[in-house]
Amino acid sequence: MHRRLVGLCLVLLLGGCASIPFEKPLLSPTRVLTAAELAAADWRAVPGGWRIRQSGLFELRGLRLPMEGFLELDNDGRRVRLVALEGLGLKLFDLTVTVDGVEVHHLLPDLAKDPRLAEAVAASVRRIFLAPRPDAGDRLEIRKRDYRLTRPGRERVEFLFGGEPPLLLETRVRGAAGDWRVGYYQFREAAGVPIPEGILLQDRRAGYRLTLWLESVKRVEE
């Protein structure tokens, strides 16, 4: 039974490049700001955390895994608890992801046959919600219609802000260990904080992509 259900989720792509399923952000003329002010505008830096109901699509080298479920983001503890279900309610996996690790509470046996899957999902969640994050020490470049924070090192880390007020629109990391980007789209307010409705992570080198639709977001204050 489980194998038939998972078989409905894991289907072959028909080929071609997937497009971004969200509206492009609207950019505005920039103004004088500091790196610290931009870093503070990151919704993941808000004290406390968020309870999120989301749907998603994980794509890995020709496989597609649709999912829905729940996510709890602890901004203070820098951890995420993610429970993913398929459309009929079968639990696919239950993970706790931190900045430097992952704890697997549950993984459907058919999915556990490919160890890349849990690792790739955990890496995606970490990159989207936990690290890296903008910092006051990052180098700031103010351009006509966007702001760019960069962090040189073994990997080049870039954060792109835009709009008014400026919001984090993209994180990009390139280096020997990887080449990936996260885009944040269609912001709406939740508890007075602009939160993206859509998130797209693409890892070009590892060959996977995670698209999230945040359907319900509630603030959790400690």
> Where along the chain do its domains lie?
25-217
68, pLDDT greater than 80:
yes
Q: Calculate what percentage of the chain has a pLDDT beyond 90.
A: 66
pLDDT digit string, tens, across residues 182-216: 999 999 999 899 999 999 999 999 888 999 999 99
pLDDT digit string, tens, across residues 16-37: 345 889 998 889 999 999 999 9
| Cα gap 83→96, rounded to integer Å | 9
Q: Count the Cβ atoms, other than its own, within 10 Å of residue 113.
A: 9
- Decide which of 2.40.40.20, 3.40.50.300, 2.50.20.10, 2.102.10.10 is the CATH code for 25-217: 2.50.20.10
Q: Calculate what percentage of the chain has a pLDDT beyond 70.
A: 91
Q: Identify which has the larger pLDDT, 185 or 88.
A: 185
Task: Report, in this order, helix, strand and coil percent for the chain, each rounded to 5.
Answer: 15, 50, 35
11, pLDDT greater than 80:
no
120, pLDDT greater than 70:
yes
Amino acid at 140: L
Residue 165 near residue 37 (C-beta atoms within 8 A): no
Residue 95 near residue 103 (C-beta atoms within 8 A): yes
DSSP type of residue 126 = I
Q: Tell me, what's the pLDDT at 71?
A: 95
SS3 per-residue string spanning 89-102: CCEEEEEEEECCEE
DSSP type of residue 128 = I
Q: Identify which has the larger pLDDT, 140 or 220.
A: 140
pLDDT digit string, tens, across residues 131-174: 999 999 999 999 999 999 999 888 899 999 999 999 999 999 99
pTM: 0.88
> 45 pLDDT band (50/70/90 cuts)?
confident
